[in-house]
A and B are shown apart, each in its own frame.
Chain A
Amino acid sequence: MKDKKLFGLAALFSTPDELVHAVEKVREAGYEKYDVHTPYPIHGMDNTMNLKPSKLGYITLSFGLSGAAFALLFMYWAMSKDYPMIIGGKPFFALPAFIPITFEVTVLFATLATVIGMLTFFFKFPSNNHPLHDTPYMKAVSGDKYGICIEADDKAFGLEKIKSLFKELHSTDVSEIYFPVLEPVNLFDGKFLALLVVVALLTSGVTYLSLNKLLYVSPFTWMMTQDKDNVQTKSTFFADGFGMRRPVEGTVARGFIPYEYKGLIAPIVPLSNPLLPTTAVLNQGKKRFLTYCSPCHGNFGEGDSRLRGQFPNPPSLHSEKVRGWADGNIYHVISIGQNVMPSYASQISRDDRWAIIHYIRALQKAKNASPTEISEAKKENSANVAK
């Protein structure tokens, strides 16, 4: 008994009246560190023990209010700042429509805070190795007895003195409660290590199975498997075994119109430019010309290739011959190519080809203008500015 440390002295009573009387006497005797253990709350015991009212409500209030504020602010931020969207003609901050969620979050925060606060902060739970556990005293008070326990670190504690006090009060049973002797914990205990291994195996196994297998079990394939042939899959239906099919002979792609003068070498193509040389068209033509034509023809169509001899230089677009060509003739060359120039039909759309032709015409005009034309243009510009 000597190596055990005394926790306190406990007494049992068989009726609540006797207990109330005993608590009054214990308080009169000046003890402060005592506790009453009853199978259910006894009415009026708060006053008998002179306990202050519980402060739990403050936790509830503060967390409830912060839950309300959090919900409202979050919805305000999400619906009017982060991703504002008009829904049903309501304002971004639609207070009436935010009330239900605000209320629910308030209740949730307050409830959880109350319970968690009570269990951890007020009760210091979990505490399964409190000295009172596993004593006959605890078994009696959780059944049908009423007990009082005076702790040994009370200033006025005296073993014999309290024993006689409890005897006077007609206690049915007085017992000494000792702190439990804790066994030293061995981290390298075989059972403990085995448990660790089992937990590790279980955790990794379950994680692997659920993330890599379970998620991809039919029907959880996220529409990845479908009853159709994809371009790269082998087909069991077609004789050649290809999942990818060629279009039927003579199929024309949507929006594609074949170029009807393809076979001619130097035609007088009866095509006229469908576009008007507006600023927008000229800008579009400039952009396409610089992208597709300028690498060989040069930025101003002078045949000064930027390819430094890696590809034969084309003749200038400012020659008499090209200047004399009809628009359709240039269109024909872009569409099917000429000499070493390949066809640009697949790169440059029809409208872009006509826009490029307007731009080439503008370049030719600028390069080969007569002095009177230049002064006319200057006059026109200044007149525009003056206006």
Chain B
Amino acid sequence: MNIDYSQELPVVEGRLTLADIDRLIAKPLDEKPDRKFFMALSVTLTLLFIGVISVTLLFMDGTGVWGLNQPVGWAFDITNFVFWVGIGHAGTLISAVLYLLRQKWRTGIARFAEAMTIFAVICAGIFPVIHTGRPWLAGYLLPYPNQHGLWVNFTSPLVWDVFAVSTYFTVSLVFWYVGLIPDFGVLRDRASSKIKKTIYSIFSLGWRNSHRNWQHYEKAYMLLAGFATPLVLSVHTIVSFDFAVSIIPGWHTTIFPPYFVAGAIFSGFAMVVTVLIFVRKVFDLEEIITLNHLEKMNKIILATGSMVGYAYGMEFFIAWYSGNPFEQFVFINRAFGPYAWAYWIMVSCNVFIPQLFWIKKIRRTIPSMLVIVILVNVGMWFERFVITVTSLHRDFLPSSWGYFKPTLVDLGVLTGSFGLFFTLVLLFTKTLPVVAMSEIKAVADGAQPSHHGGNH
């Protein structure tokens, strides 16, 4: 338990050779899926099936099958949307921001986190499409020359959302694919069966590990990281504008963009840790995704969790300091009104419990960190729920007050989104290398020429 933080820790433990790294990472792809895999897949597919049934009911009967009604016109759909977009942000942060900050430890987890970004954005994208109960009308969101002669309202945050989320998805996918090209090359050259070799050849595009290519490749990776960094901040900023640009007390605050971005990183890192704990165990990747990785992520969770706590406090302070009685009412009602239970779940999961990560033993022990990160995920889902529902349920007129209760279909759609996410994660672990082989080899001990030095 005594770790010397004054020296840089080795990224790869256990003195693995480069061939060992390839073999370890490619193992899940070389072997046939085992019983455990199918058991896990059957669970996630069941969850997904519940979601499919719920969504079918929604399409047949319309949004009346959901619990939302006046005054709470926005409830589970936007909560789930913001939650999943937030989960996605950890991937971009790890792959782009930590790359620009020259954090070598990111290589072990970057590929997995990027994949989670893509899957989370897919889950998030479902909700804006289905939230009207008429998904076939979603095409109207796009500015195309239609027979009405009308364009979308480019000054509306909801249209900004369309551009932000679709750009974010495209850029994440491209960034992920660019990272995968050299690995497809490795897999192609390792492949024993002809079908595998053909598939990997197609996706590798004919990658030859040439340094004349590596030179441009590194430049491109740098440029993409440079774009993804402001992009990730912009996406959750724009998501927060959906609320902040309105004039509802509880939504109309300038703190929302940074507060949402911090929350997104917080929840995203928690989700990455949750899944990585299982992945490193199941696929024997403990030497590549080490305890040091998890500890560093827990430190980021601690930092962003404290930022989120600061934002909660600052919202109350501004409500008092502004002297606006409506604002004050919303916040007192939020903490002590009918939704106090949700508010205090949120505060305890997001602010109090992550403080345990100040203790080194807790942030380096797998069971304790697993409990904490799952609670963080619960808390962050409730954060979006609290922001959306508590700001709406008590209107300016007491005659329009109401209490939102989710229906089974509401819960079914949420369950289904988790099913979709984990199904995609499981399929990913069996079809693509969960760790970037070429990147991890580059940071292994003795991988770089000695007299040129690693970092110049």
Contacts and interface: CB of A to CB of B under 8 A. Distances in A.
Interface of A: 15-17, 19-20, 35-46, 49, 51, 54, 56-57, 60, 74-75, 78-79, 82-83, 87-88, 90, 94, 97-98, 100-101, 103-105, 107-108, 110-112, 114-115, 118-119, 122-123, 125-130, 132-133, 138-139, 141-144, 218-220
28 contacts: A17-B449, A36-B210, A36-B211, A37-B208, A37-B209, A38-B209, A38-B211, A39-B18, A40-B438, A56-B216, A78-B143, A83-B149, A88-B155, A94-B155, A98-B155, A100-B160, A104-B160, A104-B231, A105-B163, A107-B230, A111-B174, A125-B207, A126-B202, A127-B205, A139-B190, A142-B182, A142-B188, A143-B189
B17 A100 contact: no
Given A40-B442, A79-B151, A129-B206, 5 more contacts: A40-B214, A45-B214, A51-B215, A98-B154, A100-B160
Contact of A100 (B163, B211, B213, B220): B163
- By Cβ-Cβ distance, the 8 closest A-B pairs, closest first, are A144-B18, A40-B442, A44-B452, A97-B155, A127-B206, A36-B211, A41-B214, A54-B219
Interface of B: 17-19, 22, 59-60, 136, 143, 149-151, 153-156, 159-160, 163-164, 167, 170-171, 174-175, 177-178, 182, 185-186, 188-190, 201-202, 204-220, 223-224, 227, 230-231, 234, 238, 241, 438-439, 441-442, 446-456
Contacts of B170: 108, 111-112
A138 B108 CA distance: 25
A144 B217 CA distance: 19
Contacts of A123: 205, 213, 216
A143 B186 contact: yes
Contacts of B175: 111
Contacts of A97: 154-155
Contact of B206 (A20, A57, A133): A133
A46 B206 contact: no
A128 B181 CA distance: 13
B167 to A, nearest CB: 4
Contacts of B163: 100-101, 104-105
Most chain A CB atoms below 10 A, which of B153, B163, B175, B231: B163
Nearest to A118: B220
A16 B448 contact: yes
A93 B214 CA distance: 44
B250 to A, nearest CB: 20
Contacts of A114: 220, 223-224
Contacts of B234: 100, 103-104, 107
Contacts of B155: 79, 87-88, 90, 94, 97-98
